[in-house]
Amino acid sequence: MISRTRRALRGVAVATAVLLLSACSGLPTTGDVQPGLALGASPEDQDFLPLASGPAEGAGPAAIVEGFMEAAITPADNWDTARKFLTPDLASTWRPNTGVSIDISGATRSFTASVDDDVDARDGDSAEVRVRFDQVASVDATGAYSEAFGASNSAFVVVFDDGQWRIAEAPDGVVIDESRFSRVYDDYALQYYDQTWERLVPDVRWFPRRATVATTIAQSLIGGAPSPWLDPAVQSAFPQGVQLARDAVPIDPDQVADVALNRAALGLDATTLARMRTQLQETLNAAGVQVDQVRFSVDGRTLDAGVVRVTEDPADAGSLVLKDGEFGALVGSEITPIPGVSEEILGVTQPISAIDVAIDGSHAAVLLADGHVYVTGEDGFNELDARASLIRPSMDPYDYTWSVPSNAPSALQAIGSDVSPHSIAGAWPDASSVSAVRVSADGARIAAVVVIGGERWVVVSAIVRDEAGVPTELGPAEPLTQLDGGVSGLVWLGADRLGLLTDPDDRMVLTQIVGGPGASEVAPTGAVSIAGSRAPAGVRVLSADGGVFARSGSAWSESIDGVTLLATRAGH
C-alpha cells in the first residue's frame, strides 16, 4: 500500500489560462447572440476556464484518481474529460451534478492506494484508492451553497482493463478547490415572488459556467423549488406539474428565449402566464443572460403571455449624512434635505446613535443616546420602543420598524407606523444575543448577527406575513458564515449580498453572498460605521474623524469629511 500527498500530476497536464469557452470554442465572446449559438446558450461574456487533460498512457491507480478529481475543473460537455478516467459502464452512470465538495487546495489532498502506481498489472486486477481532503463548503444537487468545514474522505475502485487503469466505482459529484471554484462555477439568483406577488426575491444557486446556462437556470426555476429556509416567504408562478418539454432553451438572434412547456401549461389564465414569463425573464436577466423576451410554447404553439409589473428598489439618492447642522442625501458636495425628516432630525437635542430612512423617504427610525427607538416624519417625533439594550433599528418596505434588545433575540418586534408593536414568533430561539439586524429591500428576508452556543454567526431568515402584510414570524435561521469577533455594522449590498464592518481589533469589510462565500478587505483607517447600497460597489464607510469613504477601484477614497453620522436607507 502506498500513501502520498498530491504531487505534480503524472497523468494529467493542467493548462491554466487556456482560452476555453465553457461550452465550446468558436462562440462569440462579446456582442449580441449570433446565429449558430448552442441551445440554451448565454450571450453574456464567458470567462476563460482552466482546462484539464485526459488520462496519460500507463498512469497508475492513484494518478488516475488524482487526474479524475482534477478534471472537475472542466465541466464542458457534461464533464467529458473527467469521464475519460472512468470505465465505460461508470462513465454512462456517473452523475457530476449531484453536488460539489469544495476543499482548501488540491495540494492538501492525500491519496492512499492499495497498489503502487509503478506495479505491473494484468487485465482484471483491481485497486482501492482512498482520498482525504479538507472541506470548507459544499453545493448540493439544487445548486445551494453552504459552509461545511472538516476532513472528508472518498473511496474509489480502480480496475486494470485493456492495458490501462480506469475507475470502476466513484462517488457522484465533484471536488474542486476553493481557489478555482469561482472560476468553474458562478452564482445565479433564481427569482421568486414574495407573498404579495409584487416583489421578486433572489435565491442564489451555483451552476457550472457554460454557454448553456440558460437551460440550467430554466430547469432549476421551473422544475425546482425555493431553498427550504426561504420557502415560507416566497412563491413561484409556475404551477405544480408545469415542466420543460425539452432540455433546451434556445435563444435566437433577436434575444428571444424559446421555452417549450408540457401540456400542463395549456389553459393557464393570463395572470399566471404573465407572472411565469416575468419570473423567468427576470431570472435570466439577473443571471446575465441577455434576453429581451421569454416566449412560451406548447406543442409548437406559442402561448400568449404578457408581463406583470414588479416593485423595484429605487436608485440610490446618495449617501445619507449628518454634517454641520444639515441632514440629507449627499449629491456631489451638496446635502439635499429629506422633506419631513431632516427638520425633525435636526431638532433632536440629544446625541443620535443611528438613523434608518424609509425607502420612500417619508420617515425614519432613529436610535438615540437614551437607548430608545423613535420614528420621525411628517407626524412628528414618536417613541416606538423603550426597552433596554436596544440595537440599531431596521425599517422594511411596509413601514415597519424592526427592533430587538441585544440580550433577548427572541423578543424581536416589528412596530407599525401606528406605533403598534407586533411580536415576531420564531426569532432565533437558540441565540443568546443579537448585535445587528437588517431587513432586505423586498421585505421577505432578515439578516442578523447572533451568538449561538458561544459562536457568532451571520444568519438569514424568511419573514412570514399575514394576509394584511403584518409580519408574524421568522422561518428557521440559515447560517451564512461564522465570525471570529463582533461587528460594528450589518447592511445589504444589493439583493443578494451583505456587508459587515468588523470590530476595532480587526477592522475589515466583509462582503457575504447570501447563499455563497464571502470576501474581506481592510477597512479605511478608523472605520466606525457602514452604509449599504443597491450594489457592493456602493458601500460607504464612516471613519472616526468624520470622513466618508467609498470604493475607488481597488482602494478606498474619501468623498466628504466632517460628517457626524452616516445614516442607512431601508433595505440597504
- Rounded CA-CA distance 461/477 in Å is 5
Strands laid side by side in the 497-502 sheet: 487-492, 497-502, 508-513, 518-522
Residue 61 has φ and ψ, to the nearest 5°, of -55, -50
pLDDT value at position 117? 81
pLDDT tens digits along 257-305: 999 999 999 999 999 999 999 999 999 999 999 899 999 999 999 999 9
- Rounded CA-CA distance 141/154 in Å is 18
Q: Do 97 and 141 form a contact (C-beta atoms < 8 A)? A: yes
Residue 554 has pLDDT above 60, yes or no: yes
pLDDT value at position 20? 30
Task: Give SS3 for 343.
Answer: helix
- Rounded CA-CA distance 269/239 in Å is 11
Residue 128 has φ and ψ, to the nearest 5°, of -105, 140
Identify which of 464, 461, 442, 440 has the alpha carbon closest to the alpha carbon of residue 450: 461
- For residues 62-90, give the mean pLDDT: 95
Burial class (CB in 10 A: 0-12, 13-18, 19+), 537: exposed
Global pTM? 0.89
Task: Give SS3 for 368.
Answer: strand
- Helix, strand, coil shares of the chain, percent, nearest 5, are 15, 40, 45
- Rounded CA-CA distance 514/479 in Å is 9
Task: Give SS3 for 158.
Answer: strand
- Rounded CA-CA distance 299/348 in Å is 66
Identify which of 23, 356, 26, 52 has the alpha carbon closest to the alpha carbon of residue 214: 23
Write down all domains in the chain, each with its CATH number in brackets: 2-184 (no CATH), 186-302 (no CATH), 319-569 (2.120.10.30)
Q: What are the DSSP calls for 46-102, one per residue?
A: -----EE--PPTT--HHHHHHHHHHGGG--HHHHHHHHTTB-HHHHHH--GGG-EEE
Confidence of residue 9 (pLDDT cuts 50, 70, 90): very low
Confidence of residue 48 (pLDDT cuts 50, 70, 90): low
What rounded mean pLDDT belongs to the chain? 90
